[in-house]
Amino acid sequence: MTDKAKFIQELSTRYAPKGEFITLGKAMLDGEVVTEVDVTIPLKTINRHGLIAGATGTGKTKTVQVFAEQLSHAGIPSLVLDIKGDFSGIAEPGTENAIIAERYSKTKLPYLPRAFPVELLSISGEKGVKLRATVTEFGPLLLSKILNLNDTQSSIMSIVFKYSDDKGLPLIDLEDLKKLLQYLTDNDQGKADLKGSYGSISPASLGAILRSIVALEQQGATEFFGEPSFDVHDLLQTRDGKGVVNILRVQNIQSQPQLFSTFMLSLFAEIYMTLPEEGDTGKPKFVLFIDEAHLIFNEASKTLLAQIETMVKLIRSKGVGIYFITQIPGDVPENVLSQLGLKIQHALRGFTAKDKKEISKALENYPTTEYYNAKELIQNLGIGEAFITALDEKGIPTPLVQTFLISPESRMDVLSEGEVLDLTSRSALVAKYEQTVNKDSAYEMLTSRMEQAVQNSAPTMKTRTAKEEPSILESVMKSSAGRTFTTTLAREGAKFVLGMFGLGARKR
């Protein structure tokens, strides 16, 4: 038996799932495409998470595109965080050219250009479905992380959230939070309530919190906080049997890594809280692709890293797979990396001593192989080639295989402005979330309460108050659209987040 015959027999056996699967490409040996061996991934193990890594320009984005297409064919919706802004073309069919024709001739597979159902999402005012969340849904810990608060200030934030919950003052947007901070420091009744039940708040700490909120508003966060709050069930759509590919366009998030990491953790928590336990269904319900994953991990504290690790473990039972896309496996913490069943490794470049260490570290994550000199080959993989190892249907790692990946069936380029406009104008979800719903929340309630207190005060007090200089808090207060409220959702969201992070017992 020749080495090639042995290779074909072994790999064909190990990459031959009995249930449903997706195909990523063909195996390679000695630089040649082995058409007898399909590199397949069982749908049953897609929720075991994964990593797609490789140096810039090696084809990671196109691999994600192929992966999302194959999932869509299987009726599985996905969410892709499109940080570089080059993924939207999946909504239009591809066009065959000489390069694609040559690639498919090597695989002996037909090239069938087609479009896929797409929803464009946005958290920063771009065209698409507006993703919003309430301040309450974020909770005090995540919000404190965004605001760069110290331990003392974070404790104050927890007290403020507890007060708002106890007093029925829903925190929907940042104006609600600022107004509540003002009430608790500048209003006699507010200060008395706070001191009697929770203790006093230092004006200096409160001023620091308020300055951080204003800085966050200047980064564009005002548009994200509000209602209607996005329902994660709207990510689980299918059309004509195909899973919808949801594309979250977050090109400007690279300058706001803390908001990005906190948004992702909030999304994890919302998915885990909302979706039911799935058990072993043989097919995932939803897949999340996180591009530039290092932006999450670089800014995360030990507490948040531990939370990511926990959520990666727990969310699998909800039928959800998470895939991290980054340049080197070392960007992902060891405790998270150990939870990832599928690894797709594009080429790494060993130009420096540090690069060579990263290559050695990356190879430690893969099974040993008699068919490849992995250390040498990993530096010489071509564009659209990758090492792959997955989990078979029994949960056993498959052999490492050099894979000649298929090309995307959809357009490998972005949509034009006109195409984006046409896509979003036909979207039922865009219409659903386009208009901000305005209902009374903490801002309106406290403003009314404070105005009534002024009207009921003595005329001399009114005159004296009118002549006083406004406080620091009052000077930075400003109006904002989008102060809305759904009491039950806000309260229950707060209790969940507080309980999940150990900041307070959940009431049962």
Q: Structure tokens of 435?
A: 């208009």
Closest by CA to 362, choosing from 58, 53, 46, is 53
Q: Could you report the per-residue pLDDT of 127-151, keeping only the tens digit for each?
A: 899 988 899 988 898 888 778 888 8
pLDDT band for position 480 (cuts 50, 70, 90): very low
pLDDT beyond 50 at 464: no
Is beta strand 320-326 parallel, antiparallel or unpaired with respect to 286-290?
parallel
Write down the pLDDT at residue 258.
63
Q: What is the pLDDT of residue 361?
A: 86
Judged by phi (left if over 0) then psi (alpha if -120 to 50, else beta), residue 483 lies in beta
Tokens of 124: 């920063």
What is the amino acid identity at position 305? L
What is the three-class DSSP state of 163?
Answer: helix
Start-to-end CA distance of the chain, whole Å, equals 66
Q: Which domains does the chain have, with CATH numbers?
A: 3-131+238-431 (3.40.50.300), 149-169+174-224+437-500 (no CATH)
pLDDT digits 0-9 by tens, 265-289: 778 888 888 899 887 778 999 999 9
Q: Compute the average pLDDT of residues 213-238.
A: 87
Per-residue pLDDT band at 475 (split at 50, 70, 90): very low
Task: Give the pLDDT band (50/70/90) at residue 304.
Answer: low
More confident residue, 86 or 71: 71
Whether pTM > 0.75 for this model: the answer is: yes
Query: What mean pLDDT comes out for the span 83-106?
Result: 92
- CA count, 13 A, side-chain hemisphere, 384: 17
**What would the DSSP string read from start to end of 364-420?**
TTS---SS--HHHHTTSPPTTEEEEE-B-TTSPBPPPEEEEEPPPSB-SSPPPHHHH
> For residue 221, what are its two tokens?
């966060």
Q: What is the DSSP letter of 506?
A: P
Share of the chain above pLDDT 90, in %: 50
Angle between helices 174-186 and 188-197 (to 10 degrees): 90
Assigned token pair, 443:
């801002």
Whole-angstrom distance, CA of residue 30 vs CA of residue 38: 16
pLDDT band for position 502 (cuts 50, 70, 90): very low
CA distance linking residue 134 with residue 484, whole number of Å = 9
Residues 6+ apart with CB under 8 A from 55: 327, 346, 347, 348, 349
- Residue-averaged pLDDT of the chain: 84
Q: Assign 462 a pLDDT band (cuts: 50, 70, 90).
A: very low
Bigger pLDDT: 161 or 270? 161
pLDDT score, position 259: 67
**pLDDT for 467 beyond 50:** no
The Cβ of residue 110 has, within 10 Å, a number of other Cβ atoms equal to 6
**What are the tens digits of pLDDT across the range 349-359?**
888 888 888 89
Peptide bond into 228 cis (omega under 30): yes
Residue 221 binned pLDDT confidence (cut-offs 50, 70, 90): confident
pLDDT digits (tens, 9 = 90+) for 317-341: 999 999 999 999 988 988 899 899 9
**Where does residue 502 rank: exposed (0-12), middle (13-18), buried (19+ CB within 10 A)?**
exposed
Q: How confident is the model at residue 476 (pLDDT cuts 50, 70, 90)?
A: very low
Q: What percent of the chain has pLDDT over 70?
A: 85
Structure tokens at 496: 């969940």
Which backbone phi and psi does 29 adopt, to 5 degrees?
Answer: -150, 125
